[in-house]
């Protein structure tokens, strides 16, 4: 018998050689039915994996992220298998799981159509129905090269050539298809019950513009058809909420071919932006932040000192001034270092909190650009907190509370990920461990749940990433708290301690919105353009039935604007139905129709963009209601 320790700490005994599937059945038939994979000693294994020694075990259902990743990774192999059957001339690149589904990059002369995707779906369903087992085998490097070379899979050969010479290369075999892959995978193709191939896009091999453009097929699968139906319904809702569509209809921002990835904010979009920035300034002032502004362009030497040159230069833009090399900043932190270094601080001065609405520029591939969500220039709502080592936890907890206050105000739920040291990092293991432990302890002291995202930290320190959830269940990574022991060392930042000696401060990098542009995009989709009143570009739209009521409408407009409201009056000689439709399409917060009855009585009919028709009310009551809604920042 072997001992199996479950997630809750309980220990069960089982016969040696018991599979995860068999063990799950012994616990619950429902669990066995819903199980996707198991995690044995923190390693993902298929349900047919036999446990032969004492171990820890988690049985994961599709709700678990590790299970989804494995499910979708296996689905990418199934799609590749289907492609091989229908297009035997295709050559395969990579096929990973992603946040929502999977993709595979293929080299194929035939341009794939929607009809091709439907045929591939049918073939994938046949592969699923066959319940083909996935079997792992390994080969030494040279044998692996010959094996892939014989199949003329030149992209796989290139990947193998990049591995160490002593590497043992793993493959997965599934029916008539074999793929180079590290795994893990499902035990078989059978659990994949619902398939949807979503789109085809161009993708340079290995993300390099100098390489060949491949076709990237995106797809998603589920263990139940009902899950796929719900997903498609959410995607249809997402299309209606697309910030690019709504932004155009509301005239908020524009994207031009003359500046790909460089958005133009229009007057109404600037209202939203300015309101967010005003809110940002007030909230930071309340919490003891000082605002600074640092230049867009700084000498290249600064970026060598900061480490960006070694770790980030492929994402940067450069220029020459007076025959010297300069960089357009991709991040605000080196400028904050210079602001700190302008004078010597005492330990009594800490913590020092510097906030900056800093514009940055980062090079993104043209295929990755997406409205306001992925751009080449954006404004980070940045802050850098310099502190004593003993202040770390309190400052981290203070930022967590700040982020929580902001997200709750907009009605967002969120979860937190702790991202740890990446391969491409700088600094000692000791510093990284200190920083990671400090973030972990701060969350545990606040009784916060979090997941660990191994290897996804910034190159200079671990971080907490805040993933907010919008009203249709999508998640967006916005806020982040990065703890940094490295830059204070690289910039030789010091302070005078209580002992009269120089010491090194610790710093936090943090954002809450993430970027103003992206946050506006998220808000646009979350509220479907019907912004909270305090952000809405047009808070009241006055519509006249005929031109003879224009003077009264203008009087109302003046009175409302004097109270601080943003008001537009549509005085055109158009049918009132047409004016109402236009105001609704523009998502104006409150619509008021003015005719003879309203002019004589001063009682206004009111339509809210969010709740529909309201009871008529006097002008002063209406203004008071709106001002209260704005003051409370209701969603």
Instruction: Look up 408 and say whether it is catalytic.
Output: no
Helix 516-526 vs helix 267-286: angle between axes, to the nearest 10 degrees? 110
Question: What are the φ and ψ backbone dihedral angles of 88, each rounded to 5 degrees?
Answer: -60, -15
Catalytic site residue 463? yes
140 Cβ contact partners less than 8 Å away, ≥ 6 residues apart:
168, 169
- Indicate which residue of 45, 380, 486, 539 is catalytic: 380
Dist. CA 52–CA 50, nearest whole Å: 6
**Helix orientation angle between 65-86 and 114-129, rounded to the nearest 10 degrees:** 110
Q: Which is the catalytic residue, given 384, 467, 474, 518?
A: 384
Q: What is the 3-state secondary structure (H, E, C) of 544-579?
A: ECCHHHHHHHHHHHHHHHHCCCCEEEECCCCCHHHH
Contacts (Cβ under 8 Å, ≥6 apart) of 584: 591, 609
Q: What is the DSSP string of 301-334?
A: HHHHHHSHHHHHGGG-EEEEETTEEEEE-S-SHH
Residue 370 catalytic? no
Q: Which of 85, 284, 362, 579 does the annotation list as catalytic? A: 362
**Tokens in use for 134?**
């996935």
Pick the closest to residue 220 from 88, 73, 112, 109 (CA basis): 73
Provide the angle, in degrees to the nearest 10, between the axes of the packed helices 243-250 and 516-526: 90
Taking alpha carbons only, the member of 306, 299, 353 closest to residue 333 is 306
Q: b/e for 464-475, b at 16 or more Cβ within 10 A? A: bbbbbebebebe
Q: Can you tell me whether residue 44 is helix, strand or coil?
A: strand
Kindly state the DSSP code that residue 402 receives in the 8-state scheme.
H
> Which residue out of 463, 526, 579, 607 is catalytically annotated?
463
DSSP string, 201-251: EEEEGGG-TTSPEEEEEEEEEESSHHHHHHHHHHHHHHHHT-HHHHHHHHT
Residue 612 gets the label, from left (phi > 0), alpha (psi -120 to 50) or beta, of left
CB 412 within 8 A of CB 525: no
Q: Are 618 and 603 in contact (CB under 8 A)?
A: yes
As a whole number of angstroms, the longest Cα–Cα distance in the chain is 92
For residue 184, what are its two tokens?
A: 């893990």
Does 362 qualify as catalytic in the annotation?
A: yes
**169: helix, coil or strand?**
strand
Beta pairing partners, 417: 451, 465
Positions of E strands within 234-296: 253-254, 264-265, 289-291
Which one is catalytic: 333, 486, 570, 588?
333
Active site residue 304: no
Alpha-helical runs (H) found in 410-549: 429-445, 486-490, 516-526
> Is 380 considered catalytic here?
yes
Catalytic annotation, pick one of 69, 376, 509, 607: 509
Active-site residue numbers? 333, 362, 380, 382, 384, 463, 509
């Amino acid at each position: 018998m072997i001992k199996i320790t479950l997630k809750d700490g309980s220990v069960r005994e089982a016969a040696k050689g018991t599979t995860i599937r068999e063990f799950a059945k012994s616990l619950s038939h429902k669990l066995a039915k819903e199980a996707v994979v198991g995690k044995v000693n923190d390693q993902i294994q298929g349900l047919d994996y036999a446990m032969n020694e004492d171990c820890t075990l988690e049985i994961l259902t599709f709700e678990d992220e590790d299970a989804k990743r494995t499910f979708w990774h296996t689905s990418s192999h199934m799609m590749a298998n289907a492609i091989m059957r229908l297009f035997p001339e295709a050559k395969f690149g990579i096929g990973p799981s992603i946040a929502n589904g999977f993709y595979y990059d293929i080299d194929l002369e035939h341009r794939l159509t929607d009809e091709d995707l439907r045929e591939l779906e049918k073939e994938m369903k046949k592969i699923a129905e066959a319940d083909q087992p996935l079997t792992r085998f390994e080969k030494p490097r040279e044998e692996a090269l010959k094996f892939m070379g014989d199949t003329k899979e030149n992209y796989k050969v290139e990947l193998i050539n990049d591995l160490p010479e002593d590497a043992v290369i793993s493959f997965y075999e599934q029916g008539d298809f074999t793929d180079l892959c590290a795994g893990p995978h499902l035990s078989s193709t059978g659990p994949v019950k619902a398939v949807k191939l979503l789109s085809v896009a161009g993708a340079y091999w290995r993300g390099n513009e100098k390489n060949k453009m491949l076709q990237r097929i995106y797809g998603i699968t589920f263990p139940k058809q009902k899950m796929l139906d719900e997903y498609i319904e959410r995607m249809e809702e997402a299309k209606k909420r697309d910030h690019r569509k709504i932004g155009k209809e509301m005239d908020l921002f524009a994207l031009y071919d003359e500046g790909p990835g460089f958005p133009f904010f229009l007057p109404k979009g600037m209202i939203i932006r300015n309101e967010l920035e005003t809110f940002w300034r007030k909230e930071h002032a309340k919490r003891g932040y000082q605002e600074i502004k640092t230049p867009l362009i700084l000498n290249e030497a600064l970026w060598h000192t900061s480490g960006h040159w070694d770790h980030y230069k492929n994402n940067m833009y450069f220029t020459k001034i007076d025959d010297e090399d300069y960089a357009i900043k991709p991040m605000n932190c080196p400028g904050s270092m210079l602001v700190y270094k302008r004078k010597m601080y005492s330990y009594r001065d800490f913590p020092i909190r510097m906030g900056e609405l800093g514009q940055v520029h980062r090079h993104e591939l043209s295929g990755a650009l997406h409205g306001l969500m992925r751009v080449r220039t954006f404004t980070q709502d940045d802050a850098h907190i310099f502190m004593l080592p003993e202040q770390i936890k309190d400052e981290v907890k203070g930022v967590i509370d700040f982020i929580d206050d902001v997200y709750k105000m907009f009605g967002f739920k969120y979860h937190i990920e702790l991202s740890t040291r990446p391969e491409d990092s700088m600094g000692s293991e000791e510093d990284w461990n200190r920083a990671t432990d400090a973030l972990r302890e701060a969350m545990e002291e606040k009784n916060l749940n979090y997941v660990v995202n191994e290897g996804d930290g910034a190159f200079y320190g671990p971080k907490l990433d805040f993933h907010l959830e919008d009203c249709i269940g999508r998640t967006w990574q916005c806020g982040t708290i990065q703890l940094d022991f490295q830059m204070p060392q690289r910039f030789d930042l010091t302070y005078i301690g209580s002992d009269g000696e120089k010491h090194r401060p610790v710093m936090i990098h943090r954002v809450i919105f993430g970027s103003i542009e992206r946050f506006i995009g998220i808000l646009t989709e979350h509220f479907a353009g019907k912004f909270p009143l305090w952000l809405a570009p047009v808070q009241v739209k006055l519509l006249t039935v005929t031109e003879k009521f224009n003077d009264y409408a203008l009087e109302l407009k003046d009175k409302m604007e004097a109270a601080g409201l943003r008001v537009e009056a549509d005085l055109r000689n158009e049918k009132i139905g047409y004016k109402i439709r236009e105001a609704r399409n523009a998502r104006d917060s409150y619509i008021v129709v003015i005719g003879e009855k309203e002019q004589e009585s001063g009682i206004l009919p009111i339509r809210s963009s969010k709740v529909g028709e309201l009871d008529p009310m006097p002008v002063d009551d209406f203004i008071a209601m709106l001002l209260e809604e704005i003051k409370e920042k209701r969603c």
